[in-house]
Amino acid sequence: MRFLGAPVPFDASDDDIRAAVDAADHVPLLVATAHLTGDLSILEPELAPDQLLLLDPTAGLTPELLSRGKELAAAALIAHRDAGCPAPPPPDEETILALINFVTGGVDDPQLLELIHEELALDEADHRAPRWRHDEVAPDRPFSVAIIGAGMSGIVAAHRLRQAGIDFTILEKDADVGGTWLDNIYPGCRVDVPNHFYSYSFAQSAEWPQFFSTQDVLLDYFRSCAEVFGLRPNIRFSTEVLSATWDDDAQQWVVRTLAAGADQDAGEVVEERYDAVLSAVGQLNQPSFPDIEGRDSFAGPSFHSARWRDDVELAGKRVAVIGTGASAAQFIPPVADEAAELLVFQRTAPWLIPTENYHDVLPDGVRWLLHHVPDYARWDRLWIFWRTQEGLLPCATIDPDWPPTEQSVSMMNEFIRQMLMEHLTAGFPEPDLLAAVVPDYPPLAKRFVRDNGIWARTLHRDDVHLITTGIERITPSGVVTADGVEHPVDVIIYGTGFQASRFLTPMQVTGRGGADLHEQWGGDARAYLGITVPNFPNLFLFYGPNTNIVVNGSIIYFSELEARYTVEAIGMLLRAGKRALDCRAEVHDAYNEEIDARNAEMAWSFSKVSSWYKAESGRSAQNWPFSLLEYWKRTLEPDPDDYVLT
């Protein structure tokens, strides 16, 4: 994986330049070209995106205006070539602001403008790097950190600790880095966030092969990051964390681990001490199986999509898939291509978000731009960020005057519903099949599924059968539905999601005074900023409670902010000459009251639809209900008054 570098001079023909321009997205193309060439005249006011139509693929521009923008960009790049591709001088603040204003329509909030600068990361600036170093603030105070997990969050946490000069060890249960992108190898697995936003702001790639990359490409990206950041020597692979226990006297964590294949009963457990523990295990790592009678009685192969079995032959087999969520919607089409017959058992129909380029290869022209105009990637990232800063959040907000129903929760929500219904109606013209695939809950109450038409094409196949009758039980030979019909199958695949609300399981975590984390949570996980929990000093959670992105943003954005907050909290502790910091209960409780109150105003809390967005209690322990800017503001730096330093 090659990261973005300096612009590479080019001598491409006029036609090749125009072909590259034609393949690019209008807004990042214009600002990246103006940035490279210094020609701000191409940013004509009428070519700026309509800020009320940011979710429209054309940003509200007519075909004529889009064509005009491409002509101006091509002419500027041709002139730049003819001038010998001079290296652009670093843009001054006035120029950067002009470029930003073209994208955003103008930003009045200075904090939002600061956030935009961070996201842009121009000239490979790393604005979220630690503002201190261990050898400067506490050179005589040893401090060690255990990071649990070498996935996306663990990598960024380790990178920031390394920049701060803090000693750390990553404890990873698997044999490689990557987390979810190592575990989920099911066919069709890919990300549902555009690549330039589903990547670190400080490590942008110039080699994305598709708009939405597949599992293998993302795994390669995170492997590359671990290599470039020099993290591998600090990772202990094939090591499972059994427990973490806070020692009140020593003010340290005692972490118990077991190497892969070792025998816990034989005393092969390793105990080590650390000054802090960072949990980077995420929310979507423990597969969830449905509570169906006889599930263990099935005689043939059965497995969860997150534990995909390549050794199970599907060709010529009659295969059952239970579930139609995001993962299932990805692997069902390729399974249909391989199996002799496919039975899809659907409990809840998903809302499909039209995404025409979901499987598309990145055009050669865009690849050319990433090589010769690398800041195209950074401006594309900002363009994605700007459109998703609030994204569909207003459309998920309940309007009590509507009134909310299981059809829609507001006028904006109803507008989204009608748009999504148009997509479903176009794909499923048959009344019976359409009725089976139309969700019976408001849009955005449950995770949506990106679709480029493949869902309809798959369900229309003669060898694919959508079954919406509930499952009564599983027998050794198949699946029995509530109408008494037994469906014989050779293989069962569960696409039934994850135990998202069971944070940090199956680890045992014991805090101050013997507090048990899972008992304290009582099945309803809570944390301050999703990061710290009272009674558990120096424990920091990544992708913790209420930090799940639903309708805006990228989880990598959250992990970057969590990493900055955590490292700055450690710096605050060291500067104070203290051993531990513990979140104040009143701060934690007030924050969670605010989160709960806002979540109660969202479609996913109102709707009765079954969803991993909610814990067993019915409360949303997963979702962040505010804007991306709001989380940035709250995690910019830790407030000493939020903690007891001991």
Q: Are residues 459 and 338 in the same domain?
A: yes
Between residues 619 and 285, the one the model is more confident about = 619
Q: How many independent structural domains does the chain possess?
A: 3
Clarify whether residues 330 and 312 are in a common domain.
yes
With respect to residue 449, please indicate whether it lies within any of the assigned structural domains.
Answer: yes
Confidence category of residue 263, pLDDT binned at 50, 70, 90: confident
| Within a domain: 310 | yes
| Tokens 């321009």 found at | 21
On whether residue 135 sits in a domain, the answer given is: no
* Joined tokens for residue 147: 């990071």
Query: Would the pLDDT of 501 be above 70?
Result: no
Please check whether residues 89 and 196 belong to one and the same domain: no
587/570 same-domain check:
yes
Mean pLDDT value across residues 572-587: 97
* Two tokens, residue 318: 């009659």
pLDDT mean over 168-185:
96
Token code pair at residue 587: 């701060």
* Higher-confidence position of 264 and 8: 8
Same-domain status, 276 and 299: no
Instruction: Inform me whether the pLDDT recorded for 87 exceeds 90.
Output: no
Query: Which of the listed ranges 341-350, 377-386, 607-616 does the model predict with the highest average pLDDT?
Result: 341-350
Residue 637: the pLDDT is 96
Q: Is the pTM of this model over 0.85?
A: yes
State CA 156 to chain mean position distance.
14
pLDDT at 406 over 80: yes
Count of Cβ atoms closer than 10 Å to residue 550 Cβ: 23
Report the pLDDT value the prediction gives residue 499, as an integer from 0 to 100.
Answer: 73
Residues 237 and 158 in one domain: yes
**511-559: pLDDT as tens digits:** 999 999 999 999 899 999 999 999 999 999 999 999 998 777 899 999 9
Q: What is the pLDDT of residues 623-637, one digit of tens each?
A: 999 999 999 999 999
500 — pLDDT class (breaks 50, 70, 90): low
403 within some domain: no
Q: Considering only 379-393, 411-425, 442-456, 514-528, which range has the smallest mean pLDDT?
A: 379-393
Which DSSP state fits 60?
Answer: T
pLDDT at 261 over 80: no
In a domain, 533, yes or no: yes
Buried b (16+ CB within 10 A) or exposed e, 438-456: ebebbbbbbbbbbbebbbb
pLDDT (0 to 100) of residue 504 = 86
Cβ proximity of 220 and 245 under 8 Å: no
207 shares its domain with 256: yes
Instruction: Kindly state whether residues 189 and 309 are assigned to the same domain.
Output: no
In the predicted model, is pLDDT for residue 275 greater than 80? yes
CATH of the domain at 328: 3.50.50.60
Domain ranges, residue 303: 295-351+444-494
Residues 457 and 564 reside in one and the same domain: no
Confidence band of 284 (pLDDT split at 50, 70, 90): low
pLDDT, residue 89, reads 81
In this structure, the answer to whether residues 256 and 341 fall within a common structural domain is no
Where a domain ends, among 494, 513, 528?
A: 494
Average pLDDT score over residue span 141-168? 98
Task: Please report the DSSP string for 513-538 in residue order.
Answer: GG-BHHHHHTT----BTTTB-TT-TT
> CA neighbours within 13 Å on the CB side: how many for 353?
20
Contact (CB, 8 A) for 256 and 243: yes
**136 belongs to a structural domain:** no
The contacts found for 118-127 with CB under 8 angstroms, 24 or more apart, are 118/201, 119/201, 119/381, 119/382, 119/385, 120/96, 120/378, 120/379, 120/381, 120/382, 121/201, 121/202, 121/204, 121/378, 122/91, 122/96, 122/375, 122/378, 123/90, 124/4, 124/202, 126/202
Residue 137 in any domain: the answer is no
* Angle 165-563-138 from CA coordinates, rounded to 5°: 30
For residues 226 and 316, membership in a common domain is answered with: no
Whether residue 268 is found in the same domain as residue 187? yes
398, 404 contact by CB (below 8 A): yes
Does the residue 149 lie in any domain?
A: yes
pLDDT band at 317 (very low <50, low <70, confident <90, very high): very high
Q: What is the pLDDT of residues 407-426, one digit of tens each?
A: 999 999 999 999 999 999 99
